[in-house]
């Protein structure tokens, strides 16, 4: 997991050789209060190749259920899906720490079930750690995994796997009761040994309080620029979808650019302008 030198002569799937030392989970944990952590989602080898030079952490999120498979929520995502995509992202990266989401149903039933799922992810993907959702109720599971050598990222606030219990995707922490509970959740997960915590969809002032209250880095998504880092779904920030959450900043309009490129291709095929002389093979003399 430290240094890779890959042959690119035979396959477009392999990244260009750029051997470097991969970041580690302890290095990310030690970034608390220092340079902000850059984190994005990745689900494929090619996207990992493009993101890796710029990111500290690549998250193989269960959001792939919606982004890749067109599912209505993350709930139907399976462990096998996460492992397949996790392995692809590890193959496409040299530098970033790769963290894989534990899907719904893969860890809640018992500590043993959580370890079995996490061990499969670690062994079959080569990832550096796993992420699981939940607050104080999941702290014993986090402690169980960490004590057995599995780095864990926590996830509090708006937890998409609990969308049915939460009643939707609204921001969390607006009431005093919920505000206090989220701070308690963060402290419990941090005290259990989490290497970092994702705080999603929480009121800005609450995100700042959470960041100050725990010793591990807090990575915001729809939270505050005062968190220890930021994460977004890559396809959202690149503008591949027409609808995105309020907290997403679009850095490009790839959907529009792809549509325009495919439209040009379609026009050239129909007019027989493509393929041209540069794209066909002449007979040998």
pLDDT per residue as tens digits for the range 66-113: 999 999 999 999 999 999 999 999 999 999 999 999 999 999 999 999
Provide the pLDDT for residue 21. Answer: 85
Q: What is the 3-state secondary structure (H, E, C) of 205-272?
A: HHHHHHHHHCCCCEEEECCCCCCCEEEECHHHHCCCCCCCCCCCCCCCCHHHHHHHHHHHHHHHHHCC
pLDDT 10s digits, 210-244: 999 999 999 999 999 999 999 999 999 999 998 88
In whole angstroms, what is the distance from residue 136 CA to residue 119 CA?
Answer: 22
221, with CB counted inside 10 A (0-12, 13-18, 19+), is buried
121, with CB counted inside 10 A (0-12, 13-18, 19+), is buried
The DSSP symbol for 37 reads E
In whole angstroms, what is the distance from residue 36 CA to residue 55 CA?
Answer: 11
Three-state DSSP class for 282? coil
Q: Which two tokens stand for residue 137?
A: 């109720």
Q: What is the sign, positive or negative, of the torsion defined by CA atoms of 151, 116, 161, 72?
A: positive
| Average pLDDT in the chain | 91
Provide the pLDDT for residue 18. Answer: 56
Provide the pLDDT for residue 1. Answer: 40
Q: Which two tokens stand for residue 168?
A: 């939707």
Provide the pLDDT for residue 167. Answer: 58
More confident residue, 266 or 12: 266
- Helices 79-91 and 111-125 pack at an angle, to 10 degrees, of 30
Provide the pLDDT for residue 274. Answer: 97
For residues 263-273, average pLDDT: 98
Annotation says 200 is catalytic: yes
225, with CB counted inside 10 A (0-12, 13-18, 19+), is exposed
Provide the pLDDT for residue 5. Answer: 44
Provide the pLDDT for residue 266. Answer: 98
Q: Which two tokens stand for residue 123?
A: 């062994």
More confident residue, 152 or 168: 152
Q: Which two tokens stand for residue 260?
A: 């325009």
Answer yes or no: are the C-beta atoms of 138 and 110 closer than 8 Å: no
Q: Vertex 91, ends 85 and 92: CA angle to 5°?
A: 90
The least confident of 26-35, 42-51, 158-167, 244-253 is 158-167
Confidence of residue 173 (pLDDT cuts 50, 70, 90): low
More confident residue, 174 or 188: 188
Q: Vertex 190, ends 192 and 206: CA angle to 5°?
A: 145
Q: Is the pLDDT of residue 144 over 50?
A: yes
Q: Which two tokens stand for residue 116?
A: 């079995």
Q: How far is Cα of residue 45 from the mean position of the Cα atoms in its chain?
A: 14
In whole angstroms, what is the distance from residue 218 CA to residue 223 CA?
Answer: 10
Three-state DSSP class for 59? strand
Q: Is the pLDDT of residue 8 over 60?
A: no
Answer yes or no: are the C-beta atoms of 224 and 211 closer than 8 Å: yes
More confident residue, 16 or 173: 173
Full-model pTM = 0.91
- Considering 116, 177, 178, 200, which one is annotated as catalytic? 200
């Amino acid at each position: 997991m430290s240094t890779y030198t890959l042959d690119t002569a035979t396959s477009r799937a392999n990244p260009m050789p750029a051997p470097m030392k991969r970041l580690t989970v302890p290095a990310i944990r030690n970034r608390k209060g220092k340079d902000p952590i850059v984190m994005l989602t990745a689900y494929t080898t090619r996207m990992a190749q493009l993101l890796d030079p710029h990111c500290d952490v690549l998250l193989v999120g269960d959001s792939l259920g919606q982004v890749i498979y067109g599912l209505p929520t993350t709930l139907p995502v399976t462990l096998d899906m996460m492992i397949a995509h996790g392995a692809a992202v590890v193959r496409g990266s040299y530098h970033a720490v790769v963290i894989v989401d534990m899907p719904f149903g893969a860890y809640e039933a018992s500590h043993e079930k959580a370890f079995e799922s996490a061990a499969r992810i670690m062994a079959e993907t080569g990832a550096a750690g796993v992420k699981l959702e939940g607050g104080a109720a999941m702290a014993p599971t986090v402690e169980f995994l960490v004590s057995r050598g599995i780095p864990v990222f926590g996830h509090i606030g708006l937890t998409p796997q609990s969308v049915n219990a939460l009643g939707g995707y609204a921001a969390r922490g607006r009431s005093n009761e919920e505000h206090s509970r989220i701070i308690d959740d963060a402290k419990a997960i941090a005290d259990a040994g989490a290497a970092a915590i994702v705080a999603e969809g929480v009121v800005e002032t609450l995100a700042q309080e959470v960041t100050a209250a725990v010793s591990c880095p807090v990575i915001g998504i729809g939270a505050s620029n005062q968190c220890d880092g930021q994460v977004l779904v890559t396809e959202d920030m690149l503008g591949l979808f027409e609808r995105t959450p309020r907290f997403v900043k679009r850095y490009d309009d790839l959907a529009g650019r792809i549509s325009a490129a495919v439209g040009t291709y379609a026009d050239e095929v129909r007019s027989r302008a493509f393929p041209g002389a540069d794209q066909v093979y002449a007979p040998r003399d």
